[in-house]
Amino acid sequence: MKIIKTVCLLTIASILLISCGSKSDKKEIASVDPTTIYIKGTMDAELTAPPFVPAPVGNRSAKKLIVNMEILEEEGTMTDGVKYVYWTFGGSVPGSFIRTRVGDEVEFTLSNHPDNKLPHNIDLHAVTGPGGGATSSFVAPGHKKTFSFKTLNPGLYVYHCATAPVGMHIANGMYGLILVEPEGGLPKVDKEYYIMQGDFYTKGANGEKGLQPFDMNKAVKEDADYVVFNGSVDALTGDNAITANVGETVRLYVGNGGPNLTSSFHVIGEIFDNVHIEGGDMINKNVQTTSIPAGGAAIVDFKVDVPGTFIIVDHAIFRAFNKGALGMLKVTGEEKKRVYSGVKQEGIYNPEGGTIQTMPEDKNKKKVVVHSGEKPLAKKIADGKQVYMKTCFACHQAEGQGIPNAFPPLANSDYLNADVKRAVGIILNGKTGEITVNGKKYNSVMTKQTLSDEEVADVMTYVYNSWGNNKTNVKISTVQEVKNGH
């Protein structure tokens, strides 16, 4: 009888366990489908400039979240005496911090200020949809676009401009972070800050004074003049340093806009208690340095136990001390000798500047002049098409039709056909300001192209012999005449 009772009890227990497990599984499956989360009410999103973040979502219900963001192209300071024209989301680099929760329905309006020169859009890595929203948000100066999306996955995500040339838009500061908190919010901490790394490429060398334009050639080579936090060399130092008190917990939302370089993010004198790897669910503990890829992010938490100035760096160390990737966390409060005791020397960690030593050039060295012969017309057109598809296609499109309100057409273009040398000069030197093409006004920017004389002749010959244009065969000698001011 005891054996029978024992078997019966074990059988009942097994049934109960299977039943409970089944119910639990069903509940878990239902809870992880964010598309079914009920939207309750509407609210305007709080947007903040770095290094600050909006208030935590806490236990609020999912809502229709209204986000209004304006694109501004404006001059700012890279470092003392060095100016740069930044392209921004919300007037700051990085752009405004957006804080949501899983299940929110975000109604996003992107406005392009009428004084801007270029069209832009936004690709949010938190968006599940074509282009991360980029295909729905392409907007010319003086216009705005509205689209919506559901936040499906909790995490910390990068957003950036994805208008051609994409690398140039990102390199000029068009990136930021959007946080999607889980239901119930993230664990509470005492202080939260927003830090984002970016690499910048200027015509002048590091520290060269004046207004410095973007250098595409350096960007392609990934040869950064500045690697900085929050858009400039001093954005997180001195009076701009972030702060905390002894005993407080600090959370840093860290992103990397790139466009090229991976960040080795480190706080000198601290160990990260928790790191949300790549901004996702997986948490690593007791981390010294965390790797953040271009277009990626991480959430790092730590407790500050002793007072002092803690230096924030990209531990690819020349970037920190020579290119600007250096910030400060100033902690105040009582000393704790059991944790740290020793002589404190202020100012040991300072930027060392960007001076680069080079060997002197031989002034007697003769320059080699390469003379290129003219190719047959058919060969020039074929080669020119290859240059066009690599260099011009994104803005002017496959059939030279351009993009309305943004990039003028090359097809059957009265402006182009009226003056060949003017057109060649625009490729060689770039162009900014208003022009009229086929009766429509365009006020955009044509960047200077880094092409050889032969490539300029080839691509212009291809354009002139396509899409109803005047069939000019542009000679290398013509390109050289324009280059020499004739």
8 is in an annotated binding site: no
What is the DSSP pairing of strand 440-446 with strand 272-276?
A: unpaired
161 is in an annotated binding site: yes
Q: How far apart are CA 172 and CA 89, in angstroms?
A: 11
Rg of the chain in Å (alpha carbons)? 28
Residue among 384, 399, 386, 403 nearest 164 (CA): 403
Q: Are 480 and 457 in contact (CB under 8 A)?
A: no
Q: Are 276 and 282 in contact (CB under 8 A)?
A: yes
Q: How far apart are CA 106 and CA 277, in angstroms?
A: 25
Q: How far apart are CA 90 and CA 238, in angstroms?
A: 24
371 is in an annotated binding site: no
Q: How far apart are CA 171 and CA 465, in angstroms?
A: 34
Q: How far apart are CA 299 and CA 294, in angstroms?
A: 15
Residue among 300, 193, 320, 289 nearest 244 (CA): 193
Residue among 275, 269, 257, 283 nearest 311 (CA): 269
Q: How far apart are CA 240 and CA 262, in angstroms?
A: 24
125 is in an annotated binding site: yes
Please provide the size of the chain in residues.
486
Provide the terminal-to-terminal Cα distance of the chain, rounded to the nearest Å: 112
Q: Which residues fall within 8 angstroms of residue 369, CB to CB, at 6 or more apart? A: none
User: What are the DSSP calls for 273-340, one per residue?
Assistant: EEEEGGGSS-EEEEESEEEE-TTEEEEEEEE--S-EEEEEEESSHHHHHHSS-EEEEEEES---TTT-
| Residue 404 Cα distances to 119, 137, 273, 396, 444, angstroms | 10, 14, 51, 10, 11
Other Cβ atoms closer than 10 A to 346: 8
143 is in an annotated binding site: no
Other Cβ atoms closer than 10 A to 436: 11
What is the DSSP pairing of strand 289-292 with strand 326-332?
A: unpaired
Q: Are 428 and 456 in contact (CB under 8 A)?
A: yes
Annotated binding site: 120, 125, 160-161, 169, 174, 315
Binding site, annotated residues for Cu cation = 120, 125, 160-161, 169, 174, 315
